[in-house]
Chain A
Amino acid sequence: MDAPVAPPKVEVDASHRYGSLTVHEELKFRVNANEFVCICGPSGCGKTTLLDMLAGILVPSSGHVLIDGMSANPKKQSISFVFQEPSTFPWLTVAENVATGLKIKGVPAATIRSKVADIIGIVGLTGFEDYYPHQISGGMKQRVAIARAFATEADLVLMDEPFVSLDQPTREHMQREVLDIWRRMKRTVIFVTHNLEEAVYLADRVLILSAKPARIVAELPITLQHPRDPLSAEFTEIRSKCVRWLHATH
C-alpha cells in the first residue's frame, strides 16, 4: 500500500440508518484519484444509499463522505451518475441529452458543442446526434447516459449497475468501451455491480460489502493488465476469491 501524500479523492467513513434499520455500520473506504473501483455486495446491501451518499444527495446519519476533503455536494463538486434504469430525457435529442450536465454547470455554448462532439465520437454515436431516445436501441441509450456522465469534467463518476439491462454481447462491448473512455479521459470511477466477473474485468480494486448492516469485508486489488481475459488462470483465481468473500457475507 502506498502512503498517500495528497488526500484521497473519496473518503467514506459513515454509518446510516433509516429509523431502526441500520443500512451502513461504520462503512469505511478510500478511493484514489483516477482509480476504477468496483463495489460488490449481496442484494439489499444498501448500494443505492451508498451511491446517494457519494453523490451528496443523502447525508449519512453519522460520519462523513468526503470528496477532495470536502463534504459531497452536487452543487459544489462535479459528480456524474450513470443510472441502472433508462435516464435519458425523451424530449431531447442525443446531442442535447449529452450536453445536459455541461449546461447545468453553465459551460459556454461553443465549448459544449465541441465537447459533445468529442464524447459522442468516443462512445460511437456519431451520426445519431439528432435522433431522439425512442429512435435508438437500449444499448445506445445507455451509451448516451455514459457520454452525459463523462462529458462534464466530473471529478467522480458513479455508475449504478449500468449494464444490467443489456444483453451479454452488448454488455461486454460496453465494458470495453467504458474502460477505453476511462483510460482516455482520466476520471475516478466508482462502479456498483452484482456481477463479479464484470467487477474483476473492470476494476483496479474490488470492494466486497456485507449484507445489512453493510461494512467492507474484503478489498481485492487487481493488477492484471488490460484487456483482461476472463478465461485466464489469474482472472479465474481472483474471481473465485471474490466469490468466496461474497458467500462469506451471508
Chain B
Amino acid sequence: MAATTKDEGRRSSIATAMGAGIKIGAWNVVSLAIALAVWQLASVAVASPFFPAPMQIVDAFIQLATRGDTTGHSLWEHAWASIERVLVGFGLGVLFAVPLGLLMGLYPKLYAGTRSVIEPFRFIPPIAWIPLAIIFFSGLTRFAFLIFLGAFFPIFTSTLVGVARVEPIHRKVGIVHGAGKLWILRHVVIPTVMPDIMAGMRVGLGTAWLTIVAAELAGGISTGLGRMMTNYAELIMVSHVIVGMLLIGLIGFLMNEVLLLVERRLFRWRWQVSL
C-alpha cells in the first residue's frame, strides 16, 4: 500500500471523527436546552418561593460570585476549599492504592492472606468515618483522610483485578529476552493495568466528591461548598443551595473530563483508527 493512500485514509477518518464530535456536541446543547426548558415550566407551574426558576439560580450565582455569602466568604473560596481537599485526599488515594494494588496483584498470596483485614474496610462507607475523623483530625487532614478512604478502594480494587489481565505471553517475551522483574513491571504490567487504573480513578473521583460534601455538611469548618449549602439551607434560600449543587456537579464533570483526556492521550494505541 502506498504511503499517500494511507495518509489520505487517515485524514478522512479524522475528518469523520471530527464531524461526529461536532454532532455529539450539538446534541448535548439541545438536551441541555430541553432540561432548562422543563425546569422553567415546572417552576412556573409550581409557583412556590421554594422552587426557583433557572434565572433565579443565575442571580444567586452572580450574587455569590461577586459579593460572597452571608459569612463574608466568596463562592470561589468555598469552591477552592472543596477542590483542594478533594485533590489532596484523592492524590493520597492514588499514591497508596496503585502500588498496593500492583503488589497484591503480583503476589496474589499476599492479598489472599490479608483479605479478611482489607475487605471489610471496603464496606464501611467513608461517611461512617466522619465521627471518628472529627475526633481525631482537624482541618485539611480530616477531609484528606475521609476522601482518601473514599478514593482508595475503587482504585485499589480495579488495579488488583487489572494485574490478572496481564497476558502470560507478554511476560514471557520479556523473560526470554533476559528482562528482570522490574522491567516486566514497568513495560508489561503497568501498561496493561493502566486502563484499569484510570477507570478506578474515575470511579474514585466520584466517591471523593460524594465524601467531601457529606464531610463538609457535618460541620466544624467555615468554608467548602457543602458548608455553604448548609448555611443557605438553614436560611431556606433554595437558589443559593442549588448554586452549590450545580457547581459540585460542574467541577466533578470537568475533573472527569481531564481524566478522560489523559486517558485518551495515554491510550492512543486503543483509540487510533484502524486501517
The DSSP consensus for interface residues of chain A is loop
User: Which residues 145-180 of A have a CB within 8 angstroms of B?
Assistant: 148, 152, 158
Complex Cα gap A104–B173 (Å): 11
Count of residues in A whose CB is under 8 Å from the partner chain: 31
> CA A1 – CA B173 in complex, angstroms?
36
Report the minimum CB–CB distance from A212 to chain B (whole Å). 23
- Whether A135 lies near B272 (C-beta < 8 A) is yes
B177-A74 in contact (CB<8A): yes
Q: Is the CB of A104 within 8 A of B172?
A: no
User: In the complex, what distance in Å separates the CA atom of A75 from the CA atom of B272?
Assistant: 35
Q: Is the CB of A136 within 8 A of B275?
A: yes
How distant is A112 from chain B, measured CB to nearest CB, in Å?
Answer: 13
Assuming the A-B contacts A85-B169, A104-B183, A134-B274, are A80 and B269 also in contact, with contact meaning beta carbons closer than 8 angstroms in the complex?
A: no
Question: What is the interface size of chain B, counting residues whose CB is below 8 A from a CB of the partner?
Answer: 28
Asked if A83 and B177 make an inter-chain contact with CB atoms under 8 angstroms apart, the answer reads no
Enumerate chain A residues within 8 angstroms of B180, measured Cβ to Cβ: 75
One digit per residue, 1 when the CB lies within 8 angstroms of any chain B CB and 0 when it does not, for chain A 199-241 equals: 0000000000000000000000000000000000000000000
Contact between A87 and B272, CB atoms less than 8 A apart:
no
Is there a chain A Cβ closer than 8 Å to B178's Cβ?
Answer: yes
Q: How many whole Å from B129's CB to the nearest CB in chain A?
A: 37
Interface of B is mostly: helix
Set of chain A residues within 8 Å of B1, measured between Cβ atoms = 127
Q: Does B264 contact A (CB under 8 A)?
A: no
Query: Which of B176, B191, B272 sits near A55, CB closer than 8 Å?
Result: B176
Question: Is A104 touching B179 in the complex (CB atoms < 8 A)?
Answer: yes
- Is the pair B272, A83 in contact by a Cβ cutoff of 8 Å? no
Are B176 and A79 in touch, CB under 8 angstroms? yes
CB proximity of B163 to chain A, nearest CB, Å? 15
- Hey, which chain B residues are within 8 Å of A131, CB to CB? 275
17 chain-A/chain-B pairs, Cβ below 8 angstroms: A55-B176, A57-B172, A74-B175, A75-B178, A79-B178, A80-B176, A80-B177, A81-B177, A85-B169, A87-B170, A89-B187, A91-B192, A92-B269, A101-B177, A134-B274, A135-B273, A158-B176
In addition to A91-B191, A127-B6, A131-B275, 8 A-B residue pairs with Cβ atoms within 8 Å of each other are A57-B175, A89-B170, A93-B269, A104-B174, A127-B1, A132-B268, A135-B272, A135-B273
- Give B residues with C-beta under 8 Å from A: 1, 3, 6, 169-170, 172-180, 183, 187-188, 191-192, 194, 267-270, 272-275
